Chain A
Amino acid sequence: MPIVSIILRRPPYGDINAAEALRHALGGVTSGYDVNLIMVDGGVFTARKGQIEEGTGFTNLEATLKDCIDMGIKVYMDKGSMKENYLDPEMIVDGCSIINSHEISTIVKESDKIMIF
């Protein structure tokens, strides 16, 4: 099965990148790919618990990320980016793996296709 790694660098809601990264991840897994979703820099904010979209018209990306995890997408968080953005492990959605930059480079090296958002 081909491996697709999606690297998300941008925080949610400010622009379309986070929503599109999650949409492509779901598309990949339903098309039979082995999908890794790697969050770095501001992208780590997408995994925050407690996102309240009521009255804003936005799609709640916390719920979408949980769907991704349920569908078997492997979600990885860059430990350095979490530290830089004052995110503690208990502040993020369950089911995400917190890894360092060396482990991220290994995952990317072993991937067939890479998409960056």
Chain B
Amino acid sequence: MLRIPCPWCGPRDETEFCYGGQAHVPYPADPSTVDDADWAGYLFFRDNPKGWFAERWMHRAGCQRWFNVVRHTVTYEISASYPPGTSRPDVA
């Protein structure tokens, strides 16, 4: 079970959180100008890297706030945790 550092509450067990998939996939500013292929990409296609991955978590059983985590998909090591709206820290 992962130990996830919530930026507001500190490190907690994974069971307190829910997963939100890949981070930094913003809702397009004007979807009507996005072509079908790009819209399908926004809806359905996500990265699946072997290595470091920025992903969203929400502290459901705690502060109920969303945040981002940089996690290694092989070792499960977590190198960063940061609020939404901020850019991915330059670690790992």
> Do A and B associate with each other?
no
Interface residues of chain B, those whose CB is within 8 Å of chain A, are none
